[in-house]
Structure 1
């Protein structure tokens, strides 16, 4: 079905509901017309969400599209999705969004980290949800970004490409791969003074964004630079392995999935490579320490990231751990899913305060957010969606090292910092387009 057909059917359905006096927002302070009415359209029902008996104003449905079964980021995506479920359960128990419940479980779909599949399942749910609580992946989300914009569907990305800072419908959190890689190289220059850098990366926005940032930082620091693209899949890493072992760079910025990272780090080390790796955020999974490549990671690897790990001492981290419960093993997929949910919560609250919980109203609320309370999980300046990208982008990142004693397999060695390259960088377009 085309988007135009979908919009036409949605419009006819809305007219029919209005004619019978039972429009979607006709609940509590809903969109039925009174002075205190809240305007609603798609994805908000008059009936409360199931399992939220104390919330009577209606139900806000949010979709989730993630890598849940067979893609390279399953080990991260499953805890991301679980953490978001728990985040919104906590919101509902605390009174919801001014009495509205939030449902993030009814419309959960698996993208298998495939752009075509991502678009297919998105089309299945888009007429039923107000927005997306999660759209995992840079290339996968790129497959639907035009339609998201055309339909004012505010969405939370489970990715950090720098392109999201230039999309009004995207509610990103933390720094992007580009600035993260700049900080990683500046940190390396400070700590062990490399002379050569290689970016080993997946194709598409994810890998190319990190490689672009690495190139900027390498050039600024007077280092030689080379980029090596590698496809997803354990059997596809021979080229990357040969490039690392033949060129012997002092530093490799690695931007892959965890399984492919294990192949690359493990096999290059087995063939004598002694340089350093710094992996961008989604490259790591605590299971890597228990893999055959575990000793190589301990010897050669550092992990960069947009926020502190699962065990960090902030109010937000504590609330996350308390809500997830003691049975949860540390995984920074949980941390990411939790952090990503804060700006959408803030935008929904703002939309209800504006009396407009329609898609257009939610997008308007996003553009009015000049800060978001991340409960200490991000810097106080994070969450400014009102100005230009250069002013609003978060530039701070952290560095961690493998650590058997940590539930997430890593512990912080350098808390939030901004290196000189990221500090001075003029962020006026997606890095991979520069």
Structure 2
């Protein structure tokens, strides 16, 4: 596949380019968390608990800011990145975010992870008028600037992604009988609503839906129920730990449906390998990022630059874990946003710059996918491509699909 890159320079040179001064700025303006020498960014994520595999994202972000600081910082300022463990527990998220905002006085929150956890701080952050940028969840609620002008998502939203799966099933699976596993929270419901919309008048083909709690030790009983429904299609709306269990259990009991897996669980290292590669063959998902296990990117300039960066800053990390690519890419976007702020590091200007990216090429997004935002569009990425698991990696197929988010 031919890349549509335009002048991207990878690795350390890219960081150095972003870190340099952008010329003469207007009078310096600061909110809490910014000074002549420092930009203080807050983050929390699940370093423990049921979603702890996502802790790899926070560790990647931490390494990214270290590399930025070594390259000179952003317009001469070093980034102080404060990351705390919330265990994927909404009450804990509220506690640590209050600490970040009221005690640490961060300029902004960045990449806080999880739909239920971000929901718990959504109104608080907007009341405090503190940027809550590029949150690590695809819930459609993060793209509503009229109601929540201080919150912006990053990845394609779950609703739109699920619409695509529903349409693909209608077009490609004859006599579909669909079973759905769904995490019992806003994240699961967002996907499920989009899925039904994509199925349209075929929504009656859903023959069984079962839920699980994020804290459940296994989803084995749910998978047995789904198989017993007679379904030949499985839409798997689950986080990595449950996804790996579901894939393995389906194989153990001889259930072989056409399997659609939500994008949040595509990591080869965190999901497919624990599930067993033999058990994962043929699973379909949507993607918007390059995968380090896909050999088509072996000679790719961006992938080579990322591997070199990983070798220097995260030498012991598993490069097959897609969370590291995700963390690097979203950090680049935050880096670019802060760079554009110049010497106006007010919270208002941070949001203004976040909402003014046009056809921004973020390294490691799939060719043809760009970041676009505006004051009325808080969905940075609105395109995906389908991929199928084969061997020990994902293989892309079909065209890039652009969808206006709902």
The answer to whether the superposition gives a TM-score over 0.5 is yes
Give the distance between the partners of 2:91 and 2:194, measured in 1 at CA.
28
The secondary structure found in structure 1 opposite 2:61 is: helix
Q: What is the rounded CA distance, in whole Å, between the counterparts of 1:150 and 1:142 in structure 2?
A: 14
Give the aligned partner of residue 197 of structure 1: 178
* Number of aligned residues: 368
What residue is the counterpart of 1:38 in the other structure?
Answer: 28
Deviations 1:377-401 (A, max 9, x none): 2565632221544986503233230
Report the equivalent of 2:87: 112
Q: TM-score by structure 1 length?
A: 0.76
Shift of 1:306: 3.1
Give the structure 1 partner of residue 100 of structure 2.
Answer: 125
**Which of 64, 72, 80 does residue 57 from structure 2 map onto?**
80
Deviations 1:66-100 (A, max 9, x none): 00022x2212x222112212322333344322111
Match of 1:165 among 121, 136, 143: 143
Unmatched runs of 5 consecutive residues or more in structure 2: 1-20
Structure 1's 241 and 393: CA in aligned 2 closer, same or farther, altered over 3 A?
A: same
Is the counterpart of residue 304 in structure 1 residue 286 in structure 2?
Answer: yes
Does residue 196 of structure 2 align to residue 215 of structure 1?
yes
* Per-residue Cα deviation, 1:153-209 (whole angstroms, up to 9, x for no partner): 222311211211114333432312222222234444555546122331112221111
Displacement of 1:315 after TM fit? 4.1
Structure 2: distance between partners of 1:218 and 1:345: 39
> Contact 1:165 / 1:393 at 8 angstroms: preserved in 2?
no
Match of 1:280 in 2: 262
Contact 2:115/2:187, CA 8 A, preserved across alignment: yes
Partner of 1:66: 45
Please tell me whether the aligned partners of residues 114 and 136 of structure 2 are also in contact (alpha carbons under 8 angstroms): yes
Q: 2:322 aligns with which of 319, 332, 351?
A: 332
- Matched residues in 1 for 2:229 and 2:175: separation? 14
Q: Decide which moves more: 140-149 or 358-367.
A: 358-367
Supply the distance in 2 between the matched residues of 1:40 and 1:396 (Cα, whole angstroms). Answer: 37
- Whether 1:413 aligns to 2:396 is yes
Q: Distance in 2 between matches of 1:139 and 1:37?
A: 40
In structure 2, relative to structure 1, the CA distance for the partners of 1:416 and 1:162 (3 Å cut) is: farther
Structure-2 residue corresponding to 1:357: 345
Match of 2:12 in 1: none
Q: Secondary structure at the match of 1:372?
A: coil
Q: Deviations over 1:11-45 (max 9, x none)?
A: xxxxxxxxxxxxxxxxxx9xxxx994311121123
Aligned-residue RMSD, C-alpha: 2.9
5 Å matches for 1:182-193? 182-189=163-170, 192-193=173-174
What's the TM-score once normalised by structure 2's chain length?
Answer: 0.80
Match of 1:247 in 2: 229
Point out the structure with max Rg over C-alpha. 1
Mapped to 2, the partners of 1:95 and 1:194 lie a distance apart of 59
Matched, 1:317 2:307: no
Tell me by how many angstroms 1:271 deviates: 2.5
The question of whether the paired residues in 2 share the 8 Å contact of 1:158 and 1:340 is answered with: no
